[in-house]
Amino acid sequence: MKRTLGAGGKETCPSQNLSGRRFMEPRLTGLLYRGLAFIIPVFLLLTPIGCSREEAVSENPPAKAVTRSATQNNAEVALAGQEEKIFRSIPPAEAKKMMESRKDLVMVDLREAKELREGYIAGSQLVPMSALAKGSAALPADKPLLLICAVGGRSYGVGRYFSAKGYPEIYNLKGGISAWKQAGLALKY
C-alpha cells in the first residue's frame, strides 16, 4: 500500500481518514454497494408474496356462507341490526356452481386486457386492478362479487380491501384462471 505524507508531515495511508482510523477501500465499498443493489431486489422477487393467503386468514366458515339464503340473512340482519359480511376464497368447482345458481353474481376479472389471451370466463367483466387503484373504475356494492385474476393473489387482495370497505358479499376464485384451467372448466379466447 502506498504511503503518503499528510498534514503536518505525518505519514498516512490512503485507507485511513484524518483521525487515523482505517476505513474500507473505495473499490471494496463500490463492490459492496453493487452487491447489495443486486441481492436486495433478487431477495424481494424470490420472497413469496402469497398468491392466495386464504389458508392463513379465514373470516367466515365456508358452510355458513354457502348454505344461507338471502331471506335468512335479511331476517338476521334486521334482528341483529348489523350487516353480515362475507369474504371467502372458493375453488373453481364451487365458483362454477355459484355462477349457475346465482343470477345476481357479478364476475369481475381484475387482470389487464393483455392477460385475456390466457382465456377468460364467459360473462365476466374486465375491470383491471390498475383502474380500481386509479379510481377510474368501481365495483358494484349492492351485488355479490366473484373476483378473478391469473392465480388468485390480486383478487384476494382486492377482495380483502373491498370487504373492509363494507362490501357485503365477495368471493375470490382460489387459484385464479390458472386453477380454472387445471379443473378443465370452459374458457373463452
Domain-located, residue 55: no
Number of domains observed in the structure of the chain: 2
Task: Judge if 29 and 118 occupy the same domain.
Answer: no
Q: Is there a domain that residue 30 lies in?
A: yes
DSSP state at residue 150: S
Decide if 188 is inside a domain: no
Query: Is residue 115 domain-resident?
Result: yes
Helix (H, G, I), strand (E, B) or coil at 86: strand
pTM: predicted TM-score of the whole model, two decimal places:
0.59
Q: Average of pLDDT values for 42-47?
A: 50
The 10s digit of each residue's pLDDT in 134-182 is 999 999 999 999 999 999 999 999 999 999 999 999 999 999 999 999 9
Whether 124 and 42 map to the same domain: the answer is no
State the pLDDT at residue 40: 58
Domain containing residue 163: 62-182
In a domain, 54, yes or no: no
More confident residue, 26 or 118: 118
The predicted structure's pLDDT at residue 17 = 54
Of 67, 68, 143, the C-alpha closest to 105 is 143
Percent of the chain with pLDDT strictly greater than 70: 56
Of the pLDDT bands very low, low, confident and very high (cuts 50, 70, 90), residue 47 is very low
Between CA 148 and CA 154 the distance in angstroms is 8
For the segment 49-76, what is each residue's pLDDT rounded down to a tens digit?
Answer: 444 444 434 444 333 334 444 434 443 4
CATH of the domain at 151: 3.40.250.10
Judgement on whether residues 28 and 84 belong to the same structural domain of the protein: no
